[in-house]
Every structure is written in structure tokens, then in C-alpha cells.
Amino acid sequence: LLEYKDQHGNTLVPRKYNKNTQLGGWVSTQRYLHSKKELSSNLVLRLESIGFVWCVERLIVGANWDAMFQLLIKYKDQHGNTLVPSKYNKNPQFGKWVQHQRHFYSKKELSSNLVLRLESIGFVFVAK
């Protein structure tokens, strides 16, 4: 998990992570066990110390979503597209947010409301 975080900047390992199929399943299991309050407090603290995300849905639609969406509108106005680099030097968090929207969309984890909002500004869900 630490290697994944070093490479990707987060702990949002896909369930079917091709480079390490066991890791995706393990991460998913930890979220499930945490939701059932079946993880030891020691493991919870260790995972939280590296920024583990327990509830992906909360990350997707948190208060930060609207702020990032406004940045995306400004980016499109300035650049003529929504192809924000995942490693956007001017605002790395924004670049990761855009990457996450594409990831969540590909996994069918974005609500139809969020998809419609992104579509309304011509968001490119599959960047080449």
C-alpha cells in the first residue's frame, strides 16, 4: 500500500488493480471491515496515518467537490478543454481531483448528478 501511495499519491487502490491483484482486494476488505467496526484500533490508526480513505463516496462528493468543479470551469475557460494533467504543477491537488473523477466514472462510482454536471461543461471522461 505504501508503494502504491508513493507512485500514485493516494491510497485509492482499485479493486481490480492489475499490478497487484491482492492489494486491491485487501484495501476493499479493510474498508468493509472498518464499516462493520471489525478492525483493530491499531490498524485503523496505522492506515489513517498514511491518509487511507475509508469512504470513497465521501471523497467524491465532499464540500471540496464544488470548489474543484469551479476550478475546472476556470481551467476550461483558460485552456479551451478539461484535459487537466494529473500532475498539474500549478495545483497538484486539482490535477489529482480531475484524475479521480475519471477513475470514479470508469468504475461507475460517480452519481448521475455529478456526471451530468461534468458533462454540462464538456468534461472528457476518457483522456487519451
- Give per-residue pLDDT as tens, 14-70: 878 888 989 999 998 999 999 899 999 999 999 999 888 887 765 555 657 888 999
Domains contained in the chain, number: 2
Quote the domain boundaries for residue 83.
60-120
Query: Does any domain span residue 127?
Result: no
First and final C-alpha spacing in the chain:
27
Q: Are residues 11 and 32 in the same domain?
A: yes
Query: Is there a domain that residue 103 lies in?
Result: yes
Verify that 64 and 50 share a domain, yes or no.
Answer: no
- Which pTM value belongs to this model? 0.56
The angle subtended at Cα 48 by Cα 29 and Cα 101, nearest 5°, is 70
Q: What is the pLDDT of residues 88-111, one digit of tens each?
A: 889 888 898 899 899 888 888 787
| Final residue in a domain of this structure, among 54, 69, 85 | 54
Residue 33, pLDDT score: 94
Q: Do 29 and 79 fall within a single domain? A: no
